[in-house]
Each structure stands twice: as structure tokens, then as C-alpha cells.
Amino acid sequence: MAEDTDLFSQYRMGDLTLPNRIVMAPMTRNRAGDDDIPVPLTVTYYVQRASAGIIITEGSQVSPQGVGYMHTPGIYSAAQVAGWKKVTDAVHREGGRIFIQLWHVGRVSHPDLLGGALPVAPSALPVEGFTHASGGKKPIPVPRALKTEEVPDIVRQFRQAAENAKTAGFDGVEIHGANTYLLDQFLRSGSNKRTDKYGGSLENRTRLPLEVTKAVIEVWGGDRVGYRISPHNNAHSMSDENPLETFSYFARELNKTGLGYLHLIEPIGGRMGFAPPEARLGPILRRIFERTFILNGGYGLHSGNEAIANGEADLIAFGVPFLANPDLPERFRQNAPLNEPDESTFYVGGAKGYTDYPALVVHR
């Protein structure tokens, strides 16, 4: 790596030129309006952060079946597409680049959010944890297992959402295969106890995630599609017998599809905890996956620069720092103090803690 390769250097990602290597990570903010439509505040929020090398939006459900939390946006209805089009148009006017994250929560939901239906999953297993539905915090029920003949409809949902994302004017899409949601549930052995072609062996457990990836790539082309994984996230009763084997195999298979980037959540400290060196998969997956590699997990200015300079990643994604600092690239460039995030406002409505974090006053 050249000595001047750091967070502020340009990066060519497929046919996109990014002005810096600072990615805005996808973050659920629970600010969508009625019918899960982005609202004017959503436009303001993303425009404020348009200086990112690339923005990856909050997860947006690919169908009504994929909803897991109140006031999260969708990308399956015409009204949602129109709402997102206002966001992408405004970000592009500011010179930004924006991908949407395609999301199906699977079993991490509640009948109150699904018209009375049970959440769906690879297997009907109990799930620890809660979700927020009408009336407040509610325990996640035992989901129902998808029938084999239903699984292709999940692929269809992602394909249609990818097409809708094109209509909405996005620059690309990220498939949400992380954080205990549906594709993650199919991939990991602790949540997938199926005996059909979508369970059991590694080949079978990766079948649905790969079918979804290939369908989305058919819509967008590989350069404009990414996939996010989180091998260390064991919330919601998630586990895997051999994460190294599972995620190494999966990365090899993703690499074969021509996927544009792989986005790994691997905590190095701070809010997200810590993945000890002996458990870290980043160096291994970096060698397996041949295109753009993104790391996320507690990075700051110095650790991000170090990871880029050492070739550990091509891009670094920042979550909470970008939430609280709309001008994060400029603050990093000036080595300026960062705003403190207000955690009490992360998942509530309104502008407070959303669009009211101050930017630097830049003197020229």
C-alpha cells in the first residue's frame, strides 16, 4: 500500500469513484412515516451526510413480511419508492453517492407488525429478545418455518426490491445478511435446522443467501451490489458451530458471483465490544474475497487510517460517529472534536438526535 493511502484518499469501486474511503454505515433510526414511507426529515438527514465516500442507508424491508420494527422504511410500495426518490435526488444534488440496504428480518418480529401472522424463519425455534410494536416492547414469539416452496418467494422479494431501488434512483444496493436477520438465520447452523435443500450442509445453508445475491446482481450488475455479514453477533439466540468454516466458505461463494463488495462487522472495541485477535475473521476473509472489502466495528480516525494503510480493508464504515457528526469526513480531516451521541434519541421519532447535530463552522 502506498504511504498516502488513508481514509481521505480516493477509491475506485467498480465504476464509481469515491472521493474518500469513509462509509456511512447502515443504521436503523425508526423515523419513517405512515406506511413506512421516508419523510422530509429523512431527506435532510442523508443530505447532511452526503460528504461520505458512500452512504449505505438504514435497512429497508423488501416486503410487508420483512418488517421487524415500527417506523422503519420499506422499498416495496410505489409510495416508498417515491419517498426514497426524494432522498436520492437530494443526495445527488450535493454530490453524494447512496446505496440502499435491502432487509428482511425473518424471525425477529411480532404478529402485531405482520397483520397477525407469525414471523417466518428457516426453523421454528424459540428466540430470546424483544421487538418494538404497537403498545411497546414485546417478546419475539416462536416463528414458523418457511416451507420449501415458499423460499423462492423470498428471492422474488429481494429481486423486486432491487428493481424498486433502481426506480428510486439509488447508486446501488447492499444485501442485509447480518445482525441475526433472515439471510443470517439461514446461513448459521444454530438457527437453521432444516432437512431440505436449504439446510444442513454448508452448501445448503448458503443456498438462499446466494440465490438472493445472484438475483440482485442480475438487476444491478455485480459492481453495484454489496453484502453485509456479522459473524460475531449472537443476539436473538444466534450461533454457529464453526464461524471460520461457515464464513470462509460463504465468502468464497460470494466471490464467485462477482459481488462488488463484502462488508464485515467485526468489533475492535468501543460500543460494539471486542473480537479477540484469535477470533478475528477479517484477515482471512480479506484474502478470500477479491473485490472491495469494508470493515465496520468501533473504528475511529487513527484506527481507520491504520487499517486502510495496512491493507486490512479498502473502506471503513462508521455508524454512531456518523449519526452524531453529519460532517464526519471534515471533522476527521481537521482532527476536530466529535459530537457526543445522544443514545436516548437513537430510535425515537422527530428531529432531536436525528438532524440537529451541529456541523463544524468551516472558516476559509
Confidence of residue 2 (pLDDT cuts 50, 70, 90): very low
- Give first-to-last CA distance, the chain, whole Å: 32
At residue 314, the pLDDT reads: 98
Catalytically active residues, by annotation: 181
How many alpha carbons fall within 13 Å on the CB side of residue 27?
24
Q: What is the pLDDT of residues 186-223, one digit of tens each?
A: 999 999 999 999 999 999 999 999 999 999 999 999 99
At residue 271, the pLDDT reads: 60
Confidence of residue 1 (pLDDT cuts 50, 70, 90): very low
CA triplet 214, 52, 101: central angle to 5 degrees?
30
Given a cut of 80, is residue 3 above it in pLDDT?
Answer: no
What is the average pLDDT across 328-332?
98
Eight-state DSSP code of residue 66? G
In order of their start, the domains of the chain are 11-345 (3.20.20.70)
Given a cut of 50, is residue 364 above it in pLDDT?
Answer: no
At residue 134, the pLDDT reads: 82
Distance CA 194, CA 181 (A): 17
